[in-house]
Amino acid sequence: MERKGRRLVLFPLPLQGHLNPMLELANILYSKGFSIYIIHTSFNSPKPCKYPHFSFHAINEGLSESETSRIDGHLLALLNTKCVEPFKECLRRLLSDVSEEPIDCLISDSLFHFTRAIAEGLKVPRIVLRTGGASSFLVYAALPLLRERGYLPLQDSQKEEPVVEFPPLKVKDLPVPPVTDNRAPTSFYQIIDSLVNETKASSGIIWNTFEDLEQSALTTMRHDFGIPIFPIGPFHKTILASSSSSSSSSSLLIEDQNCISWLNTQTNKSVIYVSFGSSAVISETEFLEVAWGLANSNQPFLWVVRPGLVHGSDWLVPLPHGFLENLNGRGTIVKWAPQLEVLAHPCIGAFWTHSGWNSIMESICEGVPMICTPCFVDQLVNARYVSHVWKVGLQLDNGMERGEIEKTIRKLMVEKEGDEIRYRVSKLKEKANLCLKQDGSSYKSLDSLVSHISSLESFNFQAQRP
């Protein structure tokens, strides 16, 4: 790293769906002339060799293998306690380096809520990156009220009822913890409360979203939160600082490039891409329903079965003997895919997703319609927005059942309803491209972010250098 300029310290949460956008943001801010310092945990460490233009600083948070075996609220709570001391030490060291320019601000993942107290103690302004959508964040912020009004905890008899404060959400769309998170739901809501409170107490929030997608939520936030809001997404489409830096290079698993060769042999817009992201877990029964639903749909499919996806099972072991062979090449399974490349491939016709925010943004940017099976937390809200607000996909409303899967795939890929959905997503793709162009909303918001950071610098200079 040669550049000597205004410095930013970024602190990503070590989960795939958080690392990707934070490193994309790092590239964007580097292209605006900042020097980038990344403090990261040893668990799920990013690969510094892929980012020679950044300065990486590892902390040893001391998480054991068993503590990181499941991605749930418990892991988040551990990260927010075990990182405190090593992070503080590392940030203090960076701040006290007088041979360098002062640090303009810390950009922390919103789920690292402990960073607020540290930043305040060290007198460094703290901006937060929220890697999820703005609409789901408003629901998070309203959870205490929604609980008070009796929507939660979720009662089976109420789950189809509307949430009148958040149309078109139904009670079953309200955020719940992962099923594998067997701690009391209270601690899940405590984590969300801390996330919301410490985010609102920041010097600004950066969003991987754009005005035309979430205008209503962004307007509400500007009105209610009293801090600057910067929707500068879609990050991965923003012109990157260095042509060698690809957005997907922060992948923690090895991307199987063979699926691209397989896609090259398929016909245009015929393939359904199936991936449930980096942390969702499904049961063996659900796994088999997905397999048979895909097989019976008669559409070609590319399916990401991440090791650990099926609860208690080894990779493909539960699949019936000869399952793939009997499909004569109509389907292929990989452990991890180069998702951005896959979604941009002309043969992809639909994306069956768990509705993680990055996946939704990536799909919209390529104009790929979706089938949504949300698993937990914000995914439930995201899925309802896909199917009922933007109307760029369908939701598997009654869980994973082979008949329903087959029917939904056919509806999207073959029937007239699919044509309308495809048209709408192609329009949204155009808007996603336009907002990044000069004078587009995200382009202007990025300029405001840069000015905002610079104004923090002058405020901060004296504080750091007594």
Q: Which residues bind ligand UDP (CB under 6 A)?
A: 16-17, 20, 248, 251, 275, 277-279, 304, 336-337, 339-340, 356-359, 362
The span from the CA of 114 to the CA of 390, in Å, is 35
Q: Please identify, using beta-carbon distances, which residue of 304 and 368 lies nearer to ligand UDP.
A: 304
Provide, rounded to whole angstroms, the least separation between the CB of residue 432 and ligand UDP. 15
Which tokens hold the place of 425? 């997503």
Q: Please identify, using beta-carbon distances, which residue of 231 and 277 lies nearer to ligand UDP.
A: 277
Q: Please identify, using beta-carbon distances, which residue of 275 and 299 lies nearer to ligand UDP.
A: 275
The span from the CA of 100 to the CA of 4, in Å, is 7
Provide, rounded to whole angstroms, the least separation between the CB of residue 203 and ligand UDP. 25
Which tokens hold the place of 187? 């601690």
> Residue 338: what are its φ and ψ, rounded to 5°?
-75, 85
Q: Please identify, using beta-carbon distances, which residue of 187 and 246 lies nearer to ligand UDP.
A: 246
Provide, rounded to whole angstroms, the least separation between the CB of residue 273 and ligand UDP. 9
Q: Where are the alpha helices (DSSP H) in 10-152?
A: 16-31, 73-82, 84-95, 115-122, 134-141, 143-148
Provide, rounded to whole angstroms, the least separation between the CB of residue 8 and ligand UDP. 22
Provide, rounded to whole angstroms, the least separation between the CB of residue 275 and ligand UDP. 4
Q: Please identify, using beta-carbon distances, which residue of 124 and 337 lies nearer to ligand UDP.
A: 337
Q: Would you list the DSSP string of 238-253? A: SPPSSTT--GGGG-SS
Provide, rounded to whole angstroms, the least separation between the CB of residue 53 and ligand UDP. 21
Question: Which residue(s) pair with 107 in the sheet?
Answer: 10, 127
Longest dimension (CA), the chain: 72
Q: Please identify, using beta-carbon distances, which residue of 221 and 337 lies nearer to ligand UDP.
A: 337
The span from the CA of 358 to the CA of 207, in Å, is 11
Q: Would you list the DSSP string of 137-156? A: HHHHHTHHHHHHTT--S--G
Q: Please identify, using beta-carbon distances, which residue of 278 and 297 lies nearer to ligand UDP.
A: 278
Q: Where are the alpha helices (DSSP H) in 298-376?
A: 339-343, 357-365
Provide, rounded to whole angstroms, the least separation between the CB of residue 56 and ligand UDP. 20
Ranked by CB distance to ligand UDP, the top (closest) residue is 17
Q: Which residues contact 436 (CB under 8 A, 6 or more apart)?
A: 234, 237, 238, 239, 442, 443
